[in-house]
Amino acid sequence: MSFEAVIGATYGFAMIAAIARLMLQFKAHRRFFLDDWLLIFATVCLTTSTVIGYVKVGTLYWSQELNYNEFRVIELISQHVDLAAHINAFQRLYFTYPTVLWLSIFAIKFAYLAFLRRLVDRIKPLIGHWRIVVCITSVSFPVCIISVYVSCDKWGLDAGK
């Protein structure tokens, strides 16, 4: 229960901050810029990952119980529980959750970079530094996404071995 409360409070704070930022931006400029659209995309990703996280909690505890209690596995098999379906459902959530979180994190990073671009637009030395940061961030983005999938060399039921 405390896990859900902390995640809910953190999510609520992030949503309040994002909505307040978007409202102030729209009130000041009467339109959204690229950084605002990236913030909206990040909030959608954060909402998706929060929902997946709430769904995943029970499955995560269940999978850990199966890893450390072989008698529970035997008991479930005797009750004709389809363990393969549960393992596949867990893996779908397991790989989707960090991917959506990385999308949210990098959407915020790119939103800050888009915002900073407007601030350093006329300062030549800072534009060079800004471009370097954009390049590094652009290279690290696919690396972080791909690392979720290449960290495990086994898929399906073989991943449980």
Tens-place pLDDT, residues 32-41: 999 999 999 9
Q: Mean per-residue pLDDT for 34-56?
A: 91
Residue 107 has pLDDT above 90, yes or no: yes
Q: In this structure, which amino acid lies at residue 25?
A: Q
Mark 142-153 as b/e (b = at least 16 C-beta within 10 Å): eeeeeebeeeee
| Cβ–Cβ under 8 Å, residues 21 and 39 | yes
What's the whole-model pTM score? 0.77
CA neighbor of 46 nearest in space, from 95, 97, 90: 97
